[in-house]
Amino acid sequence: MSPVETLSLRAADGYELFCRRWAPDSARPPRGLVVYLHGIQSHGGWYEASSRRFADAGLAVYLPDRRGSGRNAPDRGHADAWEQLARDVTDLEDRALADWRPTAGRLPLVLVGVSWGGKLAAALAAMHGTRYAGAVLLCPGICPQRDVSFATKAAIAWSLLRRRDRRLFPIPLNDPELFTATPERLDFLRHDALALHQATARFLFESRRLDRHLAEAAPRIVAPLMVALAERDRIIDNEATFRFLTRTTSAERTVKFYGGACHTLEFEPDPSRVFADVADWIVTRCEANS
């Protein structure tokens, strides 16, 4: 089993980003690099099992906590712009590529994004499509079923007009049963001190800006895509997500549908099939780009 390491990355504006890293437990160079983006409420600690599985398949995995989330305490729940979050990811990608260049040359790079992180991954694929050997979107937050109330939207707008960008509002996902039906995982979510339950007016506004950007950016997504959908997802609109996928111009689009599964596939009673499907797809894409 591949052990986890921790590292910090200084973003362009000086913000220190916490990141987990797994390297293949082998003397051989990695088959490729995975940069793994978590959701709006979660953090990297939710996705350690899948990351270990990907590393065991011969991949180097970088799983950052988004700024203001998880172990990144400063500016909790805040980002100045979604483009700032995208820059954080590309800075980490550059770090990952540099880590392995002396021993392995330039390795294929694959983005994995889950829930809100899938939305950001889709935006990055639209911006830098030729950079990636592929992108995996796990129940991506591109077409959500849930939203803040009209009253909250009005309060967010008022806060921004009054330049109270950092006023906090509840994230409308605070019921653990939206994520999973697995009892031990429900208990984990109820006691997770690192989960993000509030976000700033600016972050929530930028999330909506990102929605609007993706609505017109879909045709610019050319990288191979794998999209995983859960039958019992109460957060993501699966049909709308599939329609979004058909608007991309990727030459390769793979959809995996997991019957009976809830939103967070990681938290299924036995997620091994999901892990294997994703690992196999990533390895195939990396081998095609080696």
pLDDT tens digits along 253-269: 999 999 999 999 999 99
Q: What domains sit in the chain, N to C, each tagged with a CATH number?
A: 4-288 (3.40.50.1820)
Q: Give mean pLDDT, residues 68-97.
A: 97
Residue 2 has pLDDT above 80, yes or no: no
Please give the residue that has the higher pLDDT: either 3 or 115: 115
Are 119 and 89 contacting, i.e. CB atoms less than 8 angstroms apart?
A: no
Q: Which stretch of DSSP H or E encloses residue 192?
A: none
Band of residue 103 on the pLDDT scale cut at 50, 70, 90: confident
Distances (CA, A) of 102 to 30, 99, 105, 272: 12, 7, 6, 33
CA atoms of 119 and 83, how far apart (whole Å): 12
pLDDT tens digits along 33-49: 999 999 999 999 999 99
Residue 27 has pLDDT above 80, yes or no: no
Q: Which stretch of DSSP H or E encloses residue 7?
A: strand 4-10
The predicted pLDDT at position 73 comes to: 95
Burial of residue 28, with CB atoms counted within 10 A of its CB: 0-12 exposed, 13-18 middle, 19 or more buried = exposed
| Choice among 19-33, 86-100, 118-132, 231-245 with the minimum mean pLDDT | 19-33
Please give the residue that has the higher pLDDT: either 26 or 7: 7
Please give the residue that has the higher pLDDT: either 28 or 193: 193
The predicted pLDDT at position 250 comes to: 94
In the numeric block, which tokens belong to residue 22? 């797994």
The predicted pLDDT at position 136 comes to: 98
Which residues are 136's β-sheet partners? 112, 226
The predicted pLDDT at position 29 comes to: 87
Q: Which stretch of DSSP H or E encloses residue 168?
A: strand 168-170
Residue 1 has pLDDT above 90, yes or no: no
Band of residue 105 on the pLDDT scale cut at 50, 70, 90: confident
Across the beta sheet with 32-37, the strand order is 4-10, 16-22, 59-64, 32-37, 109-114, 134-138, 225-230, 253-258
Residue 20 has pLDDT above 70, yes or no: yes
Q: Is the pTM of this model over 0.75?
A: yes
The predicted pLDDT at position 102 comes to: 86
DSSP per-residue letters across 59-77 = EEEEEEPPTTSTT--TTTT
Q: Mean pLDDT of all residues in the chain?
A: 95
First to last CA, the chain: 25
DSSP per-residue letters across 102-131 = HHH-S--EEEEEETHHHHHHHHHHHHSGGG
Residue 7 has pLDDT above 90, yes or no: yes
The predicted pLDDT at position 257 comes to: 97
SS3 5: strand
